[in-house]
Each structure stands twice: as C-alpha cells, then as structure tokens.
Amino acid sequence: MPSPENSPTVIDIENLSFAYDRDIILENINLHVQTLDFLAIIGPNGGGKSTLLKLILGLLKPKQGRITIFGEAPSKNLSLIGYVPQNTNVNTDFPIKVIEVVLMGHVGEKTPLFGYGKEEIACAMGALAQVGMQDFAQNKIGSLSGGQRQRVMIARALCAHPKILILDEPTSSIDIKGQKEVYELLKMLNKNITIIVVSHDISVILEYANKAAHINKRLSYHDISDKRSTFHTHGDEEHFCEIELLQMLGSDSCGSCEHEENTATWREKK
C-alpha cells in the first residue's frame, strides 16, 4: 500500500472535541490522514463516527480543537472532498435518472443558466465509466440494485474530481457480491485518491484498509498495513477472524481506551 509515513498530511485533526448540548460525543480526537491512505473508521453505534465525518465535511463546527484539510479550514476545501452519504437506499421512488444523480456532483459550481452543459455531461459520463456504470446512465435510479446504486453515488462524488473520498457505511444495506464490488472499486480508486470509510464491517474493511481508527467518544488508532500478513484466513473464506482482529486491536495501544473498561464492567454484570 503506497502510504509511507512521510507522505504529506491531507486531513489534520488536533485535540478535537464535540458535544450536542451536554452530551459529549467526541473527546480529544487526534487524527492525521496522509495522502493515499485507506483509513477505516470503526466503532459502536452512537460512538461518534458520523459526527466525526460531519465535522470533517464542515457540516458541524468543533467545540474545541481544530480540523484542517490541506492546511485550511474544511469549508475552504470542500471541493476537494467527495462524499458518499449513508442510506442511499432510501428515496428510491424518486423519479430521477442515474446521470442526473451524478450531475448533482456539480451543483453549486459554475453552471450554465439552464439545464446541463456539454462538458458537465461528459464529465459525469466519465465518472460513471470509472465505476463501470456508464451503460445505466439513462435508467431510473430506483431500478438499480443496492450495489449498483452505491457505485452511482461514488460516481457522483468523483464528478468533482476530489482528492479525498469519504464514505459513510457504504455497504450497510447491500448484498455480499455488491459489497465486494464496492470495495474492489475503492481499492482501485485508492491509487489516486485518499479514502476514508466508516463501516461496521470489520473483516472486509481490514482486507482493504491500511489504517484503522476505532472511535467510541475517544479514538484509538492503528496502522495495520504491515500486520495484515499476521492474520490467518479460514479455509476458503476470504475474511479475517474477527476475534483475532479485536484481540490484536485491543493489545496494541488501547491502554486508555474506554470501551475496554465498558466491556469489563459488562462482563462483571453478567
């Protein structure tokens, strides 16, 4: 994986904290994402993963600490980030063509007075070709499978030629085959683009990611690019044993981790 330690930092998060009213969601987060990283963000529901993404995207403002993207505030470099939101399977009745969804990636930039420009359409078709969906451009979005729809959403994000691609639970509601296709696509895109994926799906994600951040209010960070070889795969199944994985993550740098304590108290209660 082409991500040497000295490659330039694209996202820099320092001492970040965030709270809704009095509920502390994120506490003292430090994270440095480097060029062409494939970072997996994992953690329990309500642990603050989506909140962290919203902070990176500038949709929320940090209460403490700071986030810089290419050395500037997130709002200044939004065009460099491609975002694929969660739950692309809602609103499938909406009468919209695949190409129109992808063209949305352009909204807000310089656009012609009416309709869509020729260059925009060419660019959107290019993005669709990148994800292998060019033949579906005129189809209604609702007629696609979950995996196909997710690839269209990735094309929409690619439409703006981002340097960073952020995906929130990209495989949460698609079948196994679709999931694999999405991750293979991300692996290919990772040659030129830094990728950040939030996912529950630990075993699959670690096959593709080179770094993992576990977020549960606080963050513990793991470089797993060199550890992959230490895992066993079971028979023909192409995934890692999650128990081994959790042991590895737990033993690494989790001294201050809250989820460890929680697990312990939970066990005692049982």
Partner 1 sequence: MIEALSFGFIQHALIAGILVSFAAGVIGSLIVVNRMVFLAGGMAHASYGGIGMAVYFGFPIFMGASLFAVGAAMLIAFLTMHKRHRMDTFIGLIWAVGMAIGVIFIDLTPGYNVDLMSYLFGSILAVGTEDIYFMAILLAIIVFVITFWYRDILAVSYDSEYAKLRGVNVRFFYTLILILSALTVVVAIKVVGLILVIAMLTIPVYIAEKLSTSLLSMMFISGLIATLFTLTGLWFSYTYNLTSGASIILVSAASLGLFLLLHKNK
* 59 contributes a contact to partner 1 by CB under 8 A: yes
For residue 214, the minimal CB distance to partner 1 (Å) is 25
Query: Using CB under 8 A, which residues numbered 204 to 243 contact partner 1?
Result: none
Question: Among residues 103 and 245, whose Cβ is nearest to partner 1?
Answer: 103
Choosing from 22, 23, 45, 115, the residue that interacts with partner 1 (CB under 8 A) is: 115
Positive or negative, the CA dihedral 109, 110, 113, 117 is negative
Phi then psi for residue 156, to 5 deg, are -60, -40
Residues 6+ apart with CB under 8 A from 141: 92, 94, 96, 97, 98, 101, 149, 152
Distance CA 97, CA 234 (A): 42
Distance from C-alpha of 257 to C-alpha of 156, rounded to nearest angstrom: 37
Number of residues that bind partner 1 (CB under 8 A): 30
Instruction: Please select the residue that binds partner 1; options are 8, 95, 235, 255, rule is CB under 8 A.
Output: 95
Please report where in the chains the tokens 């403002």 appear, as a residue: 61
For partner 1, the closer CB: 91 or 256? 91
Half-sphere exposure for 35 (CA within 13 Å, toward CB): 7
Tell me the CA distances in angstroms from 224 to 5, 39, 52, 245, one per residue in order. 13, 10, 21, 10
Q: Which of 70, 116, 221, 231 binds partner 1 (CB under 8 A)?
A: 116
Nearer to partner 1 by Cβ, of 47 and 105: the residue is 105
Could you tell me the two tokens for 89? 């399977």
User: Which listed range, 34-42, 89-97, 182-190, 249-257, lies at the site for partner 1 (CB under 8 A)?
Assistant: 89-97
Stretch that binds partner 1, among 111-119, 176-184, 228-236, 262-270 (CB under 8 A): 111-119
Residues contributing to the site for partner 1 (CB under 8 A)? 57, 59, 78, 83, 85, 91, 93-97, 100-101, 103-109, 111, 113-116, 138-140, 156, 160
